[in-house]
A = this chain, B = another copy of it.
Amino acid sequence: MKLSFTQYTLSLKHTFTIATSSRSTTPVMLVEFEHEGIVGYGEASMPPYLGESHETAARFLANVNLEKYESPFLLERILHDIDSLESGNHAAKAAVDIALHDWLGKKLDQPWYRIWGLDLSEIPFTSYTIGIDTPDIVRTKTEEAEAYRVLKVKLGGENDKEMINSIRDVTDKPLRVDANQGWTDRSNALKMIEWLALRNVEIIEQPMPKGQIEDMMWLKEKSPLPLIADESVARLSDIVMAASGFHGINIKLMKCTGLREAHKMILLARSLGLKVMLGCMTETSCAISAAAQLSPLVDWTDLDGSALISNDLFRGASLHNGKMMPSSAPGIGVERIEAII
């Protein structure tokens, strides 16, 4: 059982600005797991504000020893051991998880959505993300997003209403708002949410900083729109606490260490009556296709990561009628291609 990895840098089509940062590339680590002549692909996407990098991922992955296991089918134990190696390194851990799932699915000759017993007709519309920008660029990006039925808007900056008005100048599509912890005063946050509720906004992601739990409990009581935890929920163990301040959670493979834990998080969230969104970082079609396998289980997907880059290395899940549909290929359903630059 052999694990290898290569660093790569994604080029973003547009410089990407959220409430706290701005950038035009994303470092990723591509992972291959080979055993019995089958290769499984995985990926770690590491936006710099989350603390992982090419260096941390390379160091972590070099310490992953899969040769001591009898079979990749010992997935629970392998992933538990890898998670116990060190805290953090969530994206690097996800890369191994995705590669092992790809291998297992190929070995079983089925895509994971079938192994999990899921129905592709239940996949919801995915959103396309528009970062914080000038009114002209916001209007251009909105027009570029024609193939999408829903847009996601990054707010939490100085010009939130201007952003929304710029978009509403060109489209009436439903919007999902991600404040990225940008609103620090709960009364102002509520006023903003009430204003947004009148403008065909479906949900609000992470309105306030993750430390402001009591403010979120107050806001949840009063909000006319569902509030979704993003920064407040990385992993399975964060969900029970978040249930008091949010109506739902946004699960991302790079936050939660991969498909195995993401699947468990969906089941736990459902058991607690929470809604579920499935999100991503800027990623190649490798990690996006992995996430797409789980998407029949969720209420909202935001799987535009591969659409935001100009140098994808995989072909896999693709947009059909506004939904990010997995391919019918086994595993995570991808094939490696040459970068189109």
Contacts and interface: CB of A to CB of B under 8 A. Distances in A.
Interface string A72-87: 0111111100000000
A268 interface: yes
Interface stretch (A42-50, A108-116, A178-186): A108-116
Contacts of A119: 74, 76-77
A260 interface: yes
B271 A76 contact: no
A327 to B, nearest CB: 15
Interface residues of A, number: 31
Nearest to A78: B117
Contact of A271 (B104, B117, B236): B236
Contacts of A137: none
Contacts of A77: 117, 119, 122
A269 B104 CA distance: 26
A53 B111 CA distance: 39
A196 to B, nearest CB: 32
Contacts of A109: 108
A110 B272 contact: no
Contact of A114 (B73, B236, B268): B73
A267 interface: yes
Contacts of A118: 74, 76
A23 interface: no
A93 to B, nearest CB: 15
A272 B243 CA distance: 13
List 7 tightest A-B contacts by C-beta distance, closest first: A75-B117, A73-B114, A76-B117, A268-B271, A77-B119, A108-B108, A74-B119
22 contacts: A73-B110, A73-B114, A74-B117, A75-B117, A76-B116, A76-B117, A76-B118, A76-B119, A76-B297, A77-B119, A78-B117, A79-B117, A104-B117, A108-B109, A108-B115, A115-B115, A239-B271, A240-B271, A264-B267, A264-B271, A267-B267, A267-B268
